[in-house]
Amino acid sequence: MKVHNFSAGPGILPAEVLKQAADACINFDHLNLSLLEISHRSKNYEKVMDEARAIVKELFEVGDDYEVLYLGGGASLQFAMVPYNLLSENGSAAYVNTGVWATKAIKEAKIIGTTHVIASSEDKKFTYIPKGYQIPSEADYLHLTSNNTIYGTQMHAFPESPIPVVCDMSSDVFSRKVDASKFDLIYAGAQKNMGPAGSTMVMVKKSALGKTGRKMLSMLDYQVHIKGGSMYNTPPVFPIYVTLLTLQWLKANGGIAWIEDLNNKKASLMYNEIDRNPLFYGTVATEDRSKMNVCFLMKDPTMEAEFDSFWKAAGISGIRGHRDVGGYRASLYNALPLESVQVLVDCMKEFERKKG
């Protein structure tokens, strides 16, 4: 039976990418050596790194004023690296708190320097995106989290900002068109839309760096990693290669315009069923619903165990909600086909027919 993988992360990858990656583990680039056992300093792998960095800039449509890095440590390390590299010793940073990961980013920034939470949706358990807040013009940067995997909210528009903007796009990067030139720094853990777990993409405007006034630890300094071509130390070789394959798959199929249209169709299909089906209801403000992580609950929680058996029997995997929210969460990442969403919707319809 085909498994329909709605995992929130690590998320689904394209089948052809998995096949290419598996082949590279046996014989990479016709070397009769595994990708896992060649030097990251070899010309064969340097080409991978160069292409993986270049394709990010191509998909984001930015120029040479930006640099792309692939680093370890996940987005969690970026929670510290961002303020370490951008927050000046006598300055301040502005953060918008829209969920668990934004909260963690705020915690790390406060250790580095003065940090202000200028807007938050914590008052309603992060079920909406704050709007209409004032951005302090004196702050060094504004930090946003574009999509919230746990609570299922997403920024469908970004505020006009008088200061540099940083965005954690871990769970919706390359899922839709954004004007990347409006951001000084974008970072994203790869394991949802870009590739497997193990690497984090950072795209940073070079002019934003070198202004903090502090002495920098080498491994936490973006400029050191830029100078080293994102290979100051041994990079996460395999995850970066699979990320390259995934972004090549995206480009070959029609790029951002193609995937945005597909993602809109998937999200519409899911939300239309949630709104129609009397057994279920959505958990967040309608205008802020995420197109990546669709969170919903059963009106009668006592039916959950029976519904769980129902969807598992249909070959569906990974839709149980996060422990902080409960219920269900269908993650509609780029590689998830529309057909899988239809299977889940049909399952919900059939369960309604039997139990409604």
SS3 readout for 110-162: HHHCEEEEEEECHHHCCCCCCCCCCCCCCCCEEEEECEECCCCEECCCCCCCC
- Strands annotated E in the chain: 4-5, 66-71, 92-97, 114-120, 141-145, 147-148, 153-154, 165-168, 185-189, 200-205, 280-282, 293-298, 316-317, 328-331
User: How much of the chain is in helix, strand and coil states, percent to nearest 5?
Assistant: 40, 15, 40
Residue 311 a catalytic site member = no
Choosing from 140, 172, 184, 192, the catalytic residue is 192
State the CB neighbour count (10 A cutoff) for residue 50: 13
Please tell me the class of the 15-252 domain.
alpha beta
**What pLDDT does residue 324 have?**
85
**What pLDDT does residue 45 have?**
96
Residue 192 a catalytic site member = yes
| Cα torsion 80, 86, 91, 97: sign | negative
**What pLDDT does residue 196 have?**
97
**What pLDDT does residue 1 have?**
73
Domain ranges, ordered by start, for the chain: 15-252, 254-355
Q: Contact, 99 vs 145, CB < 8 A?
A: yes
Name residues whose C-beta falls within 8 Å of residue 229's C-beta, 6 or more positions apart in sequence: 46, 49, 50
- Total-model pTM: 0.97
Q: Which of these, 44, 63, 59, 60, lies nearest to 249 by C-alpha position?
A: 59
**What pLDDT does residue 340 have?**
98
DSSP states along 203-244: EEEGGGSS-S-S---GGG-HHHHHHTTT-SS---HHHHHHHH
**What pLDDT does residue 177 have?**
98
**What pLDDT does residue 141 have?**
98
**Which superfamily does 254-355 belong to?**
Aspartate Aminotransferase, domain 1 (3.90.1150.10)
What is the block-wise mean pLDDT of the chain (356 residues), using blocks of 10 residues? 93 97 97 96 96 98 98 97 97 98 98 98 98 97 98 97 98 98 98 97 98 97 98 97 98 98 98 98 97 98 96 97 93 98 98 90
**What pLDDT does residue 210 have?**
96
Residue 177 a catalytic site member = no
**What pLDDT does residue 128 have?**
98
Q: Contact, 34 vs 160, CB < 8 A?
A: no
